């Protein structure tokens, strides 16, 4: 998009799918602080946006110029690529000129979704993220940390966890600066940590004894289904398989996406753990 066009679109509303979620909420807060109008796209928003109800998409897209696309539950989930393709088609037809996609690292299905977005006549940016640090305090691992035992199928494979505040900074840069069009930013934290090391950092930050117990993907799926009866068994199996895949060693390296997009290093896990511990979220 030219500088001129970009200037003309500064007042246009940016749609943030998953705008109340871990990255979307932070992106919305940052854009609002910059004085940019935003619309939240989620089931609880008004108008509501539901990935599973395509009839809701037109209302969310009305008058929108740019979209931050986060898919729920996961770009690797069955049906995700069909939904992303249909959404991108409809977005272009309704006048959207920029798509910024949150993608997942080491997931072939997520990379297919990137290709779908890239094939559309828009300014696109793909932010391909490693596992979020905030899974430990804002998502599915928080109760396990509180309980003192984190059973997870990561073995001793290291992962360069990313701080979602860094993802939000990259996404906001992509939505507000021209130079990120056509870029795939593979974003990770600045160092590799095994799950055991991540849990050690959380123990150190909280002063509590928290343990990591490696389990198999099958054990993880069975435990997830048993703990939450609302999780369909096939989705529990999908989760176990997904973690088994991304912890097979393919993602065990650090990348420079945050530095390339923002010109500064990514945030470190120990800083994240100290900040999260200070909120009291992990108090038993």
Ligand X SMILES: NC(=O)c1ccc[n+]([C@@H]2O[C@H](COP(=O)([O-])OP(=O)(O)OC[C@H]3O[C@@H](n4cnc5c(N)ncnc54)[C@H](OP(=O)(O)O)[C@@H]3O)[C@@H](O)[C@H]2O)c1
How far is Cα of residue 105 from the mean position of the Cα atoms in its chain?
10
Contacting ligand X (CB under 6 A), which of 129, 221, 236, 239? 129
| Residues contacting residue 205 through CB under 8 Å, at least 6 positions apart | 270, 273, 274, 276, 277
What span, in angstroms and rounded, lies between the C-alpha atoms of 236 and 224? 6
User: Within 67-96, which residues bind ligand X (CB under 6 A)?
Assistant: 70-72, 74-75
Q: Does 22 bind ligand X (CB under 6 A)?
A: yes
Closer to ligand X by Cβ: residue 63 or 139: 139
Write out 102-131 in H/E/C secondary structure. EEECCCHHHHHHHHHHHCCCCEEEEEEECC
User: Per CB under 6 A, does 106 bind ligand X?
Assistant: no
The one segment of 22-30, 226-234, 263-271, 272-280 that binds ligand X by CB under 6 A: 22-30
CB distance 3 to 29 below 8 Å:
no
Residue 31: CB minimum distance to ligand X, A: 15
Q: Does 189 bind ligand X (CB under 6 A)?
A: no
Residues in contact with ligand X, counted by CB under 6 A, come to a total of 26
Cβ closest to ligand X, residue 74 vs residue 197: 74
Q: How many CB atoms lie within 10 A of CB 114?
A: 19
Indicate whether 257 belongs to the interface with ligand X (CB under 6 A): no
Least distance to ligand X, CB of residue 127, Å: 9
Using CB under 6 A, list all residues that contact ligand X.
18-24, 42-44, 49-52, 70-72, 74-75, 102, 104, 129, 131-132, 135, 139
């Amino acid at each position: 998009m030219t500088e001129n066009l970009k200037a003309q679109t500064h007042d246009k509303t940016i749609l943030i799918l998953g705008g109340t979620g871990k990255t979307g909420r932070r992106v919305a807060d940052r854009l609002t602080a910059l004085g940019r109008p935003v619309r939240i796209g989620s089931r609880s928003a008004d108008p509501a946006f539901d990935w599973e109800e395509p009839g809701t998409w037109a209302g969310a897209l009305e008058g929108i110029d740019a979209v931050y696309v986060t898919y729920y539950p996961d770009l690797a989930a069955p049906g995700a690529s069909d939904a992303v393709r249909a959404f991108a088609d409809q977005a272009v037809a309704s006048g959207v000129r920029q798509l910024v996609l949150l993608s997942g690292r080491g997931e072939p299905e997520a990379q297919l979704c990137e290709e779908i977005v890239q094939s559309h006549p828009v300014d696109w940016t793909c932010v391909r993220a490693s596992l979020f640090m905030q899974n430990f305090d804002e998502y599915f691992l928080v109760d396990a940390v509180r309980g003192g035992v984190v059973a997870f199928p990561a073995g001793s494979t290291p992962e360069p966890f990313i701080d979602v505040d860094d993802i939000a900074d990259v996404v906001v840069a992509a939505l507000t600066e021209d130079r990120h069009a056509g870029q795939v930013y593979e974003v990770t934290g600045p160092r590799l940590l095994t799950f055991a090391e991540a849990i050690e950092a959380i123990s150190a930050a909280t002063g509590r004894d928290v343990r990591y117990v490696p389990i198999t993907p099958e054990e993880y799926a069975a435990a997830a289904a048993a703990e939450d009866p609302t999780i369909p068994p096939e989705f529990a199996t999908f989760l176990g398989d997904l973690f088994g895949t991304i912890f097979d060693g393919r993602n065990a390296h650090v990348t420079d996406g945050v530095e390339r997009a923002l010109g500064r290093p990514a945030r470190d896990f120990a800083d994240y753990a100290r900040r999260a511990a200070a909120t009291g979220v992990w108090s038993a």
